[in-house]
Structure 1
Amino acid sequence: MVVKSFCCAVLLLIMSGCSQHSSIKQSENNPKINAPTAELAYAQGLLLSQYNDWRGTPHKWGGMSKKGVDCSGLVKLTFEQQFSLSLPRTTAGQVKVGHSIKRQQLRTGDLVFFKTGVNVRHVGIMVDELQFFHASSSRGVILSRLDNPYWNSHYWQSRRVNLK
């Protein structure tokens, strides 16, 4: 817990330094520049901590433990454990929370949804503007890049849940 708090504090200091520097170049047309950088850095620290804790956990349909977890279970557990927010258990329920955002607006903490089959949906959580973590059916809990050809071609939609 002390290490987790320390890492989050370091991230906050680093990112708030960047935030102050970038305020000179702030643009009303660029929502990423206007994003609350310190809050996003803190959320990113929490998400990376969660990822490191769950990394390599095998995939198990309906799973909600370190013995096995599925994509929506991982999302539900992460939001409860890191942000004290209760999300629905299923991808079908999670795709209805928060509000829809454009792919170009993605940032830390946003949910990304994919259509990976005729009636198969997948969900992950953005760690930054490019990477998300999720429970892969073949590799367990991993970090993936949104620009990976597989995920890029199966991207469906994104949702933002208020982390406050």
Structure 2
Amino acid sequence: MAIRIQLTKRFVLLGLVLALALSMVFASFAKKAEASVSWGQEVTEVAKRYIDTPYKWGGTSPRGFDASGYTQFVYKKSAAKISLPRTSKDQYKVGKTVSKKNLKEGDLVFFNTNDKDVSCVGIYLGKDKFITVTPSKGVSIQSLNTVYWKDRYVGAKRVLEQ
């Protein structure tokens, strides 16, 4: 009886080792799943979570944002963990300048809404859309092609690694 139990244990152990070896061999042939989300996609997904958050002058939290407080919050909250300056004017000084035709998801887009200098910033979503904060709509998706934004467009910056 003891010999039979020992043989059974050996067969079970041998079976487990063989199963493990086979699974390792076949696993090396299987395609591995790879994440293909870019930093820009990650930032824009975080940005979209706050749609309809109200505008608040000087606001930097989900209780209420102004445009630069919003971009600062989103970039810091995202996996990119980028610290942006507080104002849109100062945010315009960082990153790499990007032409309008070369915009990528997650790029910052800047506007002059006060007839003086850079005063508004948004996050480019793709397909000529961006997300920003306005006093009338709070956090919302806008189009670069509307007359209002087209006439006030200053430029864009890329602060994310591509």
Could you say whether these structures have the same fold, taking a TM-score greater than 0.5 normalized by the shorter chain as the test? yes
Cα–Cα, structure 1 residues 10 and 56, in superposed 2: closer, same or farther, change >3 Å? farther
Q: Contact 1:106–1:129 (CA<8 Å) still a contact in 2? A: no
Q: CA RMSD in A?
A: 2.1
Of 82, 85, 104 in structure 1, the residue corresponding to residue 82 of structure 2 is: 85
Cα–Cα, structure 1 residues 150 and 94, in superposed 2: closer, same or farther, change >3 Å? same
Q: Contact 1:145–1:151 (CA<8 Å) still a contact in 2? A: yes
- Summarize deviations over 1:128-159 as a string: whole Å, max 9, x none: 14111111121000011111121111111111
- Summarize deviations over 1:34-70 as a string: whole Å, max 9, x none: xxxx53xx532x2343233211111111111222100
Q: CA deviation at 1:122?
A: 0.6
Q: Percent identity between the aligned chains?
A: 34
Between structure 1 and structure 2, the one with the greater Rg is 2
Q: Contact 1:113–1:156 (CA<8 Å) still a contact in 2? A: yes
Cα–Cα, structure 1 residues 52 and 159, in superposed 2: closer, same or farther, change >3 Å? closer
- For structure 1, the 5+ residue unaligned runs are 1-8, 13-37
- For structure 2, the 5+ residue unaligned runs are 1-32
Q: CA deviation at 1:119?
A: 2.8
Which residue of structure 2 lines up, in the alignment, with residue 64 of structure 1? 60
Q: Contact 2:72–2:83 (CA<8 Å) still a contact in 1? A: yes
For 1:26-105, list aligned pairs within 5 A. Answer: 39=38, 43-44=40-41, 46-82=42-78, 83-105=80-102
Q: What TM-score comes out, normalization by structure 2 length? A: 0.71
Distance 1:86 1:66 in 2: 17
Q: Give the number of equivalent residue pairs.
A: 128
Distance 2:68 2:50 in 1: 14
Q: What TM-score comes out, normalization by structure 1 length? A: 0.70
Distance 1:56 1:155 in 2: 23
Which residue of structure 1 lines up, in the alignment, with residue 135 of structure 2? 137
Structure 1 counterpart of 2:64, one-letter code = G
Q: CA deviation at 1:10?
A: 10
Which residue of structure 1 lines up, in the alignment, with residue 149 of structure 2? 151
Structure showing the higher helix proportion among its residues? 1
Cα–Cα, structure 1 residues 94 and 57, in superposed 2: closer, same or farther, change >3 Å? same
Which residue of structure 1 lines up, in the alignment, with residue 125 of structure 2? 127
Structure 1 outlier segments of 4+, above 6 Å: none
Distance 1:124 1:163 in 2: 18
- Summarize deviations over 1:2-59 as a string: whole Å, max 9, x none: xxxxxxx9993xxxxxxxxxxxxxxxxxxxxxxxxx53xx532x23432332111111
Distance 1:144 1:11 in 2: 29
Which residue of structure 2 lines up, in the alignment, with residue 160 of structure 1? 158
